[in-house]
Amino acid sequence: MPQKQLKQVVESSGQALHQQAHKSWLWKGHNTLLTDGTTVLMPDTQENQIDYPQQSNQKPGLGFPIARIVGLISLNVGSVASYAMGAFQGKGSGETSLFSQVIGVIAENDILLADRYYCTWAIIALIMQQNSHILVQNHAQRKPDFRRGKKLGAKDHLIEWEKTKRKPGWMTQSDYDALPNKIVFREFSVKGRVYVTTLIDAKKYHKQELAELYTQRWIVELDFRSLKTHMKMEMLRCKSPDMVRKEIAVYLLAYNLIRASIARAAKVKNKFPEKVVL
């Protein structure tokens, strides 16, 4: 089967499972997605080295080709809704570049949980443009000033963020120009940690509840650990880039099938899927 079709099967199965999550598993009526990046190794063949070169600080013959994968994983059911992969380093290989290939999968009213690396003007603006939501920790380079903006509560306010002059490398100039000149979002602090979100209704979404929801972001790392350690995806076996991409797709498809079984069991037992062990 062609790799493109395998990837489509992975995504269609993962998205269907995510969208059919039982209403009791949702957070305030929202489906929630997690995103993060990870890496995998593969056999040291010339073909693999061309598409997925080893780290530049390793001498030839002493390292393995390495690929970066960015995934969208359902918090509610654990399925892989979408993914993008590329080389570990070089142009277009960064996490946000790969994330730009899957951002359109985030449905209207879905919430995305991501680490502070994703707290950029362009990502937040794109999320808002498609009527989705995001909750991230504030980027370390952004210094909050709770004296500004519209106050919603103690260390909780709405602020404007003007479009930066420099577009990200993964966007075309025309797409960047089409975004608004400024966006309005919510910024708040809980126990010294500053968060950014597009969920601006402070009465419906109390900042303590949002901070508690964000603690579940780390589950994406457990999902990747399950794939790489328990399912042995950390070191691939295929010796050509095309077969490597197919191998990854088959791993992710098998993972979605396992998650489907867990979701069915959870529904029968009236439990959250993450509480079910097969």
Longest dimension (CA), the chain: 59
For 9, phi then psi, to 5°, come to -65, -40
The CATH number for 229's domain is 3.90.350
**pLDDT (0 to 100) of residue 57:** 81
For residue 177, the enclosing domain spans 3-275
Regions of the chain with pLDDT less than 70? 277-278
Count how many domains the chain has: 1
Amino acid letter for position 85: M
**Whether the Cβ atoms of residue 93 and residue 9 lie closer than 8 Å to each other:** no
**Whether the Cβ atoms of residue 97 and residue 120 lie closer than 8 Å to each other:** no
Q: What is the pLDDT of residues 196-249, one digit of tens each?
A: 999 999 999 999 999 999 999 999 999 999 999 999 999 999 999 999 999 999
Provide CB contacts within 8 A for 184, sequence distance 6+: 158, 159, 160, 161, 200
Amino acid letter for position 105: V
**pLDDT (0 to 100) of residue 275:** 78
Nearest to 141, CA basis, from 113, 158, 164: 164
